[in-house]
């Protein structure tokens, strides 16, 4: 970089440029000066070279340079095109190969932290669970800060971590990274724009971070207004979306006029048309409908039906009530929940519910409104083809860049977290039947009612799922265990660790033993975990070692469930468990097969063959649109799964019987 010569100053002035202090303008390349026209400079200016051209849609080429702009204290990288800045750009460092056109103002009025350090009042609108957002925030850190308020020293330490990160990001200068496009945009103030981001037609971006990168660029579209925000890589914010005090995680999509305030959205969330307020949206929270409001709740792997609504205000002390729908829960169209309430994992909510039910120990259930009351159908969602389809699609829809994933996400449908709840739920159902009698028409549970048939069906389904999980875990270990003798097999099956026993947690996608989570939190409090990087490493290790901890839990649960003793368990016992596993897997698959068949029933044909005069026309139209039942991919996969698991069970049983001879 060097200062301008007098001749170069005259050249720029002849090209319509002006500056009161030309000696503060530094250039790289004399030949590039011809591409600087109609520009006003002030403060300290550094300008790179302009050699390349941008090829625009439609085949137009625009040479790089600075045209019709006002720059104050700005650094411009090589091969940028900055054109038609209606107001000015001030206090920004602009990277190489940027295209900035038709923008009102880009301003850094520092010192500023670019959205880092903003407190987001999740769950309770009146405060008390504020999460401090920063550009390294993960779903798990936010979960701890939200739900562990009973440990004030821990919260204080997390606040220190966030304050330190905020201080590192605080500056009097803004940054626009390399290969950034900003066009047809209004007001940008105190906003960090990462590499390869595209901002097209946004209305206002104020006090925020677009944490974009080449492998996973961010797109901000027309009419977007965002204040006090952080948006992580791979996300798209489109079509008049409005954000106020909002964190958006990796690979999220918000659009079609979505409105959110004081909310957190973690990886792979999709939010369209509706509204969110004080929401903790864990991974894969989805809502698509205009009439849907998510408020004061914790969700993850959730799909909200049209017209879904919750209330956090009972017109007493204000909007202070909160609720949770555990992982995989869904709401049907026009559902309503009056907080406080807690809905069990992978449950479906239909109708209006005002009784503040807690069904967290009854996962995979239906909550149904009948005559203004909440009825619970335990475990019935285990036989739903939709539940299995969801579990299969989530890993496939993870759009995060593989080498930079921040949130720790476990996709397992059956895990110690859900199976432990089933074990407790099964025990509750058995106790209810014993205490109230097997012939009672209706049983009361947690402000809900359970019919006699639902109670018995729930017991059966929970047993099938528990036996399936325990068998899965056992067989996976048998397949990688020394099976040269019965003695060596039984010895090798015993877990080498104690970590994993007891209760497990779902921390916004991370499934881990509570004991180890508590140990990690102790390390934060006593200073052994010293910052955000250490915390993320600890969380990552919990995720990586999931299957080691799972076997410790599964082995002990298997012994308890089947009434066995670790000292006397035999090959015959293992054979019995595998046989039971095989029967459970096949029975559950047959239920899924029957549920899928409903999609091809005669009632499902209604509306097909619209102008047809015969049933044949209806059937042909249906097949062309929906396909044939026997060739449906899910149906064929289910049948193949039955054959594959049956063959696996037979092979393991044969191996165990040979050892037992």
- Measure the CA–CA gap between 450 and 335, rounded to whole angstroms: 19
Q: Could you give the dihedral angle defined by the CA atoms of residues 233, 142, 535 and 110, in that order, rounded to the nearest 10 degrees?
A: 60
> Do residues 489 and 482 make contact, with C-beta atoms less than 8 angstroms apart?
yes
3-state secondary structure of 324: strand
Question: 271: helix, coil or strand?
Answer: strand
Burial class from Cβ neighbours inside 10 Å (0-12, 13-18, 19+) for residue 480 reads exposed
Contact 456, 439 (CB under 8 A): no
Range in 153-162, 328-337, 399-408, 606-615 with the lowest mean pLDDT? 606-615
232-248 confidence digits (pLDDT tens): 999 999 999 999 999 99
Distance CA 371, CA 247 (A): 40
Pairing outcome for strands 275-277 and 259-265: parallel
* Adjacent-strand bridge partners of 107: 90, 189
Core vs surface per residue 9-35: b (16+ CB within 10 A) or e: bebbeeeebebeebebbebbeeebbeb
Q: What is the Cα Rg of the chain in Å?
A: 30
C-alpha 661/C-alpha 655 separation (Å) is 10
Give the C-alpha separation, 113 to 195, whole Å. Answer: 18
- Position 540 confidence tier, pLDDT thresholds 50, 70, 90: very high
Q: Beta partners for 63?
A: 53
- pLDDT bracket for residue 603 (50, 70, 90): low
- Phi-psi region at 422: left, alpha or beta (left = phi > 0; alpha = psi -120 to 50): alpha
The H or E element containing residue 119 is strand 119-121
First-last CA distance in the chain: 85
Q: Is there a contact between 296 and 319 (Cβ–Cβ < 8 Å)?
A: yes
For residue 631, count other CB atoms closer than 10 A to its CB. Answer: 9
**pLDDT tens digits, 183-204:** 999 999 999 999 999 999 999 9
Which segments of 196-237 are extended strands (E)?
Answer: 198-200, 204-211, 219-220, 225-232, 236-237
Instruction: Give the 3-state secondary structure of residue 649.
Output: helix
Q: Identify the helix (H) or strand (E) that includes residue 291.
A: none
Q: Pairing between strand 2-3 and 348-350? A: unpaired
What are the tokens at 304?
């909200």
pLDDT score at 542: 97
pLDDT at position 616:
67
CA-nearest of 416, 379, 151, 137 to 282 is 137
Kind of pairing, strands 348-350 and 366-370? parallel
Instruction: Please report, for the chain, the start and end positions of each structural domain, with discontinuous segments joined by +.
Output: 497-569, 572-659
pLDDT in tens, 87-134: 999 999 999 999 999 999 999 998 999 999 999 999 998 889 999 999
The reported pTM is: 0.94
Span 54-78, pLDDT tens digits? 998 999 999 999 999 999 999 999 9
What is the pLDDT of the chain when averaged over all its residues? 93
Q: Of 329-333, 472-476, 571-575, 640-644, give the lowest mean pLDDT range.
A: 640-644
CA distance 340 to 295: 12
Q: How many CA atoms lie within 13 A of 590 on its CB side?
A: 9
Token duo for residue 395: 């890993």
pLDDT in tens, 548-598: 999 999 999 999 999 999 888 999 999 999 999 999 999 988 888 887 777
Tokens of residue 485, six digits: 């003798």
């Amino acid at each position: 970089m060097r200062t301008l010569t007098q001749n170069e100053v005259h050249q720029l002035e002849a090209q319509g440029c002006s500056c009161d202090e030309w000696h503060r303008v530094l250039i790289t390349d004399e030949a590039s000066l011809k591409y600087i026209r109609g520009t006003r400079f002030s403060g300290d200016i550094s300008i790179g070279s302009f050699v390349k051209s941008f090829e625009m849609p439609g085949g137009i080429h625009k040479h790089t340079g600075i045209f019709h702009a006002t720059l104050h204290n700005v650094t411009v990288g090589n091969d940028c095109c900055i054109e038609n800045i209606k107001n000015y750009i001030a206090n920004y460092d602009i990277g190489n190969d940027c295209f900035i056109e038709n923008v009102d103002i880009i301003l850094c009025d520092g010192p500023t932290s670019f959205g880092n350090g903003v407190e987001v009042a999740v769950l309770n609108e009146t405060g008390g669970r504020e999460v401090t957002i920063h550009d390294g925030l993960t779903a798990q850190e936010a979960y701890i800060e939200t739900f562990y308020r009973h440990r004030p020293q821990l919260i204080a330490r997390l606040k220190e971590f966030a304050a330190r990160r905020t201080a590192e990001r605080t500056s009097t200068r803004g940054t626009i990274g390399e290969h950034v496009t900003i066009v047809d945009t209004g007001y940008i103030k105190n906003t960090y724009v990462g590499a390869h981001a595209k901002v097209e037609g946004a209305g206002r971006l104020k006090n925020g971070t677009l944490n974009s990168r080449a492998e996973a660029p961010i797109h901000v579209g027309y009419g977007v207004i965002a204040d006090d925000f952080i948006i992580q890589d791979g996300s798209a914010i489109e079509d008049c979306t409005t954000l106020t005090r909002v964190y958006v995680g990796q690979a999220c999509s918000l659009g079609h006029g979505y409105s959110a305030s004081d909310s957190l959205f973690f990886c792979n969330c999709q939010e369209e048309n509706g509204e969110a307020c004080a929401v903790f949206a864990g991974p894969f929270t989805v809502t698509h409908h205009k009439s849907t409001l998510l408020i004061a709740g914790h969700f993850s792997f959730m799909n909200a039906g049209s017209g879904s609504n919750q209330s956090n205000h009972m017109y007493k002390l204000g909007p202070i009530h909160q609720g949770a729908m555990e992982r995989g829960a869904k709401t049907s169209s026009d559902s309503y929940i009056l907080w406080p309430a807690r809905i069990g994992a992978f449950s479906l909510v239909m109708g209006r519910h005002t009784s503040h039910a807690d069904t967290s120990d009854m996962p995979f259930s239906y909550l149904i409104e009948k005559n203004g009351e909440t009825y619970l159908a335990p475990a019935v969602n285990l036989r739903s083809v939709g539940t299995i389809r969801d579990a299969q699609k989530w890993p496939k829809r993870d759009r995060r860049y593989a080498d930079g994933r921040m949130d720790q996400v476990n996709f397992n449908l059956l895990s110690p977290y859900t199976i432990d709840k089933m074990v407790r739920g099964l025990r509750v159902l058995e106790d209810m039947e014993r205490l109230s009698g097997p012939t009672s028409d209706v049983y009361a549970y947690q402000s809900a009612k359970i019919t006699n048939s639902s109670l018995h069906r729930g017991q059966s389904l929970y047993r099938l799922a528990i036996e399936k999980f325990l068998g899965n875990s056992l067989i996976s270990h048998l397949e990688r265990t020394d099976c040269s003798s019965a003695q060596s097999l039984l010895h090798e099956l015993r877990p080498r660790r104690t970590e994993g026993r007891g209760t497990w947690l779902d921390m916004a996608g991370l499934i881990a033993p509570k004991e180890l989570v508590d140990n990690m939190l102790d390390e934060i409090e006593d200073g052994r975990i010293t910052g955000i990087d250490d915390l993320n490493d600890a969380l990552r290790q919990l995720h990586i070692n999931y299957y080691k901890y799972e076997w410790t839990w599964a082995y002990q649960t298997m012994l308890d469930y089947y009434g066995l003793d670790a000292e006397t368990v035999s090959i015959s016992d293992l054979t019995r468990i595998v046989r039971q596993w095989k029967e459970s897997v096949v029975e559950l698959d047959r239920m899924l097969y029957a549920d899928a068949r409903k999609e091809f029933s005669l009632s499902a044909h209604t509306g097909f063959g619209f102008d047809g005069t015969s049933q044949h026309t209806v059937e042909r139209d249906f097949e062309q649109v929906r396909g044939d039942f026997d060739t449906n991919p899910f149906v064929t996969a289910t049948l193949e799964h039955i054959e594959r698991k049956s063959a696996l069970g037979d092979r393991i049983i044969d191996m165990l019987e040979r050892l037992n001879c």
